[in-house]
């Protein structure tokens, strides 16, 4: 059960934006709900447990969990994802993801989402490959958190946001702008106010 809770966080903590951060932060400055795929995913998470793990990690990192510092600083987000992954034994002591364990937990968790299940194997492989490529290009610096979980999560969120069936898509201006950025391979991150610009 703990692994499934983390999977929900890691899979949705997809960086700095959109529905990805709704379960992790619920809201951030001046933002309405930014779920861009209304498939009920957020409602399926046991929020009390998610909030407790997030809060514990934020406290351990010395961060006020809803602070501007956390929301705008990519390094803090990387450390938060690493902490959560380690707490649920989906990353080793260096922050490297345990691929088999994470893939198994993701498959168990997302198998209930009819439209996501057939896409999952391919997305997981692509995102593990992406995270490894990023790590090769930008190895973890000594004394810094490992960005593999962050990179994997963002990749998975991006794929699911773009693959969301049309009938489930939020057609708000904000979500259209987010999908536009994702389609053109632009990063979407609220640490540099990208989301405010898309309003």
Q: Where are the alpha helices (DSSP H) in 88-193?
A: 99-110, 117-137, 148-163, 173-183
Dist. CA 42–CA 101, nearest whole Å:
22
- CATH code for the domain in which residue 69 is found: 1.10.238.270
Q: Specify the number of domains making up the chain.
A: 1
pTM of the model: 0.77
pLDDT score recorded for residue 27: 33
Task: Provide the β-strand partners of residue 37.
Answer: 169
- Average pLDDT of every residue of the chain: 76
Dist. CA 26–CA 42, nearest whole Å:
10
> Cα 155–63–8 angle (5° rounding)?
35
pLDDT score recorded for residue 46: 45
Question: Which phi and psi (to 5°) does residue 14 adopt?
Answer: -75, 80
For the chain, which residues score pLDDT lower than 50? 1-8, 10-34, 46, 190-199
**Could you list the residue range(s) of the whole structural domain that residue 184 is in?**
2-197
């Amino acid at each position: 059960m703990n692994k499934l809770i983390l999977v929900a966080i890691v899979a949705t903590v997809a960086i700095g934006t959109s529905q990805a951060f709704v379960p992790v932060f619920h809201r951030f400055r001046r933002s309405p709900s930014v779920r861009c795929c209304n498939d009920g995913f957020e409602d399926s998470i046991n929020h009390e447990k998610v909030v407790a793990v997030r809060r514990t990690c934020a406290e351990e990192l010395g961060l006020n969990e809803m602070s501007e510092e956390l929301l705008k600083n990519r390094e803090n987000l990387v450390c938060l994802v690493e902490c959560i992954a380690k707490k649920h034994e989906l990353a080793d002591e260096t922050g490297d993801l345990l691929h088999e364990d994470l893939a198994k937990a993701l498959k168990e968790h997302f198998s209930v989402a009819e439209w996501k299940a057939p896409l999952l194997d391919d997305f997981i492989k692509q995102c593990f490959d992406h995270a490894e490529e990023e790590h090769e290009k930008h190895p973890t610096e000594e004394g810094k958190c490992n960005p593999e979980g962050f990179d994997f999560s963002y990749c998975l969120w991006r794929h699911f946001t773009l693959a969301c069936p049309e009938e489930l898509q939020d057609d708000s201006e904000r979500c259209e702008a987010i999908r536009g950025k994702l389609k053109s391979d632009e990063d979407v991150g609220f640490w540099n106010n990208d989301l405010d610009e898309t309003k």
